[in-house]
Amino acid sequence: MLSILGILLLALLFSLISLWRDRHPIWLHSSSSAPLPPSLPWLPILGSLLSLPRGPPHLALTRLAHAHGPVLGLWLGSHRAVVVSRAQEVHEVLIGQGRVFGGRPPMVTTDILTRGGQDIAFANYGPAWRLHRKIVHASLYKGGFGMEEIEAIVSAEAKELCAGLFGYCNGQSLDLTTELTCAVTNIICALTFSSGYSRTDPEFVSMLRWNEGIVRTVARDAPVDIFPWLRACLEEGSPPQDVLGCLLAAQHAARGDLRARHLTDTHLLMTVGDIFGAGVETTSTVLRWIIAYLVTYPKIQAAIQAQLDVMLEGAFPCLADQVRLPLLQATIWEVLRSRPVSPIFIPHVALKNTTLGGFHIARGTRVLVNLYAVHHDPTVWDDPEQFQPGRFLSSDGLQVTPPRPHFLPFGAGPRGCLGEALAKAEIFLLMASLLQTFTLSLPPQCPAPNLEGVHGVVLRPPPFKVCLKHRSTCA
């Protein structure tokens, strides 16, 4: 059995070999005429970890961008990386050179969760991935559910959500996390499994626990992803059978869409897992952020409700009402700007040598897009730290005008969010229904929610409670 000292020496040797392999000659002696980006100091094994400021990564990297510029080099263990923090360069990464920067880095945790990257979110870019994504998009929005069917499913769940909350209009306070998660989960289940659950269903509770485990695993910044030689220390467990049973049912229903021999059953199962895991966590988190801001800014909530009353006259909200409810839409956009659920995108990888912002980027470099910095750039946004839905409204307040390329909550280009249309429909219809039916407020003597957020695989608001009042009793 190796001693601790022996293990450390082997680790040091491995890291030095990796550093030499990665840095010589491409990184330090590029044949490109473009200069290298400014870079943080680094050490063997640790890379630049000791040079990173403390605090949530999106805030720490934003401070570094202010000090060193919008394209900053660093080392994550033996992996070279750049952080991109300005809209111009981010647009180039996602769209202008979307295929060049479309790769994904191999990471131990996600490789285990996706069985070697056999999904869409974490799989590497290539012909098989492009066909895979095209088939899934077609099955979601064309060959499978169109927007009319999606709207019907979301509207039905919005009615169920409001009906289930009537019992809380008695002065008691509650954390809406479970109710919102149940609503979004049922929408995803209807799309993928043709089934739904009550909030007390044991299978539903089991799925929530499984999904939370996935979120914690991906969010943990596992050392094994920075130091892959630690993989030998992992014991890979068996996958949860209850959720996979649901995924197998979805695979059977979608079998007609598998037209490529290299798209295996596992690819489809992992893809449905993407839709379920990412779709539930991100959308339910956005809903919680919107509610956190609305109870903190009750005048904005009241103005949205006034617009709902005038424009809908008691009719249940539909997607066509988005243009008639600009303040609600602008508030949703402002929440997505202020607190993007993915403040740092899943890492991209440069698939060949290229330039970005005038700097040489070597093949294999990991690219971290700091969306939080883009959404809080003071040269683009007036008072970016202030919550101002009006920034998304036209001068007459009648239209929503999201400014691109500075506003990218769903990403863009080849790696853009596949579920963007679904997520927008869910967020609008669920929030319009809630605000039409209830007034949301803070419990007596309760402080406003902490709006800084808790960093993980998504940026979440900390737990908070609200009181509900049915609007027919509001004077």
Q: Which tens digit of pLDDT belongs to each residue from 206-215?
A: 777 766 665 5
CA 95-99-102 angle, 5° bins: 95
Dihedral, 406, 409, 415, 421 alpha carbons, nearest 10: -120
Residue by residue, what is the 3-state secondary structure of 37-83?
Answer: CCECCCECCCECHHHCCCCCHHHHHHHHHHHHCCEEEEEECCEEEEE
Query: According to the model, what pLDDT value does residue 230 have?
Result: 37
What pLDDT is attached to residue 103?
Answer: 87
Domain architecture of the chain: domains with CATH: 13-473 (1.10.630.10)
Instruction: For residue 417, say whether it is annotated as part of any ligand binding site.
Output: yes
Helix boundaries (H) for 73-126? 87-91, 108-113
Q: Can you read off the two tokens belonging to residue 278?
A: 């990412």
Element (H, E) at 455: strand 454-455
Residue 236's contacts (CB-CB under 8 Å, 6 or more residues apart) are: 112
Contact at 8 Å (CB) between 286 and 342? no
How confident is the model over 105-141, as pLDDT tens digits? 876 555 555 555 556 666 767 777 777 677 666 666 6
pLDDT by residue (tens digit) across 270-326? 666 666 767 888 999 999 999 999 999 999 999 999 999 999 999 999 999 999 999
Instruction: Give the residue ranges of the chain where pLDDT is below 50.
Output: 1-2, 5, 7-10, 13-14, 17, 20-29, 143, 218-254, 257-261, 473-475
Beta strands in 102-222 (DSSP E): 173-174
Percent residues over pLDDT 70 in the chain: 71
SS3 304: helix
Cβ proximity of 270 and 118 under 8 Å: yes
Q: Please tell me the predicted confidence (pLDDT) of residue 240.
A: 33
